[in-house]
A and B are shown apart, each in its own frame.
Chain A
Amino acid sequence: MLQIPDVALAPMLPILIVLAGAVASTVLGFNLPRRALTIINLVMLVLSGISMVTLWDSGATAFGGGLQADNAAILLGLTILVGSIMTLLVSLDTAYRARVSFPEFDAMLMYAITGTLLIAFSGDLIVMLIGLEIMSLSGYVLATLQASRRAEESGLKYFLLGAVGSAILIYGIAFVYGATGSLTYAGIAAKASGLTPANVGILVGGSLLLLAGFGFKVALAPFHQWTPDVYGGAPTSVSLFLSTVVKVAAFAGMLRVFGGALADAPGWSSVLQILTAATLIIGNTAALFQRNFKRMLAYSAVAHTGFLAMCLLGTPQAGGAALGYYLLVYTLMTAAALAVVAALQRDEMGMEIDDLRGLYYRHPAYAVALAVCLASLAGLPPFAGFFGKYLAFQAAFQNGYVWLSVLAALTSVAALIYYLRPGMLMFMPDRTPAREYPHGQRTPTNFAVVLGVLGVTVLGILPNIWYGWVQNPAIWQFLAGR
């Protein structure tokens, strides 16, 4: 008797709408100009967000738990959509200057977003893997798409290291399956305690391989070397996408796998704390020595990976809430900072930090916006970055990682130096001619910048607007599904 699979359309709808946008860009790209496609895709992303909101509290699943639209998935999915919308807005203005303004750019972007949503909604290691690969493969293309030596080099580096990361991750999946006999998160979580000693060994090996594979995707310390080259070499709107949306999605996968399926498995947390410490030290130290602003932001993204990974070391309830809050704030502030870079840069190399001198007297609004983003990235109190860091420290501290919290506090003091230096330079008077692109101020980019700056300020003063939604521990208790 053939069993009919449990196909429910409602929980898939947010993903299907984005996929429809991707297919539409692929097909309509022959007839429509890219600008029209981008506007269609923006509408699709908003529709997908609305369909996610209607799924709130429904706890719907499809494919026998392979896809779960629980509240955790919806919160992470909305964060992904915010980053994607900001990317599309910025690309409306800057893709033309970066010579990537053709329909394939939009199609690849939308396919990548489909993959990221699939990771957030996954209930199964294989579904997660498919999402991760859709995201990564589209990301390799996006990084290479600009026909310049720098972009191609960054694309090849991203591809080779990303492919190695995926291969290690898949080997990890095979071992976790070998230890537990299950590929669904719920099945793994149910069998992770009470294994025979031989199987515990296999499970520890598998979870460490998974950790290494994810380490490549989120740029944890020994696996972070590609990050500055790729974020620095790719067009700025692509760097914006890779450093926000792709990172959020990879963290969503880590939260699902390590906070849900492997929450009770031994071994991985002690390795993760060492990787986190190394990431904090390397990311923050290397950022101190950068002369290029875009490259400095890439190292700042590595440093923030360390702060975000601290959330995973907390209990799933506290850590999930901290990660849910921090990921949105991180998306807003990083995307807004890179949007300003995209608007002001002369070419896709970004700007040198010294070129920011006197920016306030030439572009006062952008200078203030950039200063707000940098202050928030540094974790200065009135802005949301402070509360995000506080939650991350708290999650790790409460779960017994005292030394790591102390180290993180120390490195964030070091981070003040490299965030505040460009911040101060911008407000110093300068008589030399401007080194920015003069016609960069356009409405869509400005809208993205305003969204980011307003979000960071409002969430910093009234954190409960978002934290009130993510703090409910019941959301993060059943990351593996029930």
Chain B
Amino acid sequence: MVPTTYYLALSGILFALGMIGVLTRRTAIMVFLSVELMLNASNIALVAFARSWGDLTGQTAVFIVMTLAAAEVAIGLAIIIAIFRKRETTNVDDLATLKG
């Protein structure tokens, strides 16, 4: 049986990659995809912990997180498209009307 630590290491690496993506990527779509990576990291952690506790609650929580992620995609892409229609770009550095 694979030890839980391995799964946690995988989830930690995924979360870190997502975080790096959020901090370094400049396109709204890529930032958004990095967030999805972070969500999947939490799913892996939830499943790994559920296995080590021998408890199914964690696994059911994963279903809810997946649903939330899907809802977030729907709204996020709608917002990004609304922005793109007006400005022909989704670069977050170009969004600098609001300052101060």
Contact = CB atoms under 8 A, between A and B. Distances in A.
Does A associate with B in a complex?
Answer: yes
Nearest to A130: B64
A137 B87 CA distance: 23
B79 A171 contact: no
Interface in A289-345: 289-292, 295
Given A171-B38, A183-B57, A149 B100 contact: no
Interface in A275-295: 289-292, 295
Main SS class of interface, B: helix
A118 B17 CA distance: 32
Contact of B22 (A130, A164, A178): A164
A223 to B, nearest CB: 13
A173 B62 CA distance: 11
Given A144-B82, A163-B72, A167-B35, A229 B98 contact: yes
Contact of A181 (B18, B31, B48, B55): B55
A126 B64 contact: yes
Contacts of A137: 71-72, 75
Contacts of B22: 164
A164 B38 contact: yes
Interface stretch (A36-44, A153-161, A406-414): A153-161
Contact of B49 (A126, A163, A166, A178): A178
B23 to A, nearest CB: 9
B64 A156 contact: no
Contacts of B57: 177, 182-183
A129 B97 contact: no
Given A178-B49, A181-B55, A149 B86 contact: yes
Contact of A290 (B75, B95, B100): B100
A182 B58 CA distance: 8
Interface string B26-60: 00100110010011011101101110110101100
A244 B80 CA distance: 26
B79 A173 contact: no
A177 B61 contact: yes
B76 to A, nearest CB: 6
Interface string B71-100: 110011011101100110000100101111
B38 A177 contact: no
A236 to B, nearest CB: 14
Interface string A130-150: 100100010011001000011
A259 interface: no
Nearest to B73: A163
Contacts of A164: 22, 35, 38
A235 interface: no
Given A144-B82, A156-B28, A160-B92, A133 B42 contact: no
A298 to B, nearest CB: 10
26 contacts: A126-B61, A133-B72, A140-B79, A144-B79, A150-B97, A150-B98, A153-B97, A153-B98, A156-B95, A157-B95, A157-B98, A160-B28, A160-B32, A170-B42, A170-B65, A171-B41, A171-B45, A174-B42, A174-B58, A178-B8, A181-B53, A183-B61, A232-B98, A233-B97, A233-B98, A292-B100
Interface of B: 8, 11, 15, 18, 22, 28, 31-32, 35, 38-39, 41-43, 45-46, 48-50, 52-53, 55, 57-58, 61, 64-65, 68, 71-72, 75-76, 78-80, 82-83, 86-87, 92, 95, 97-100
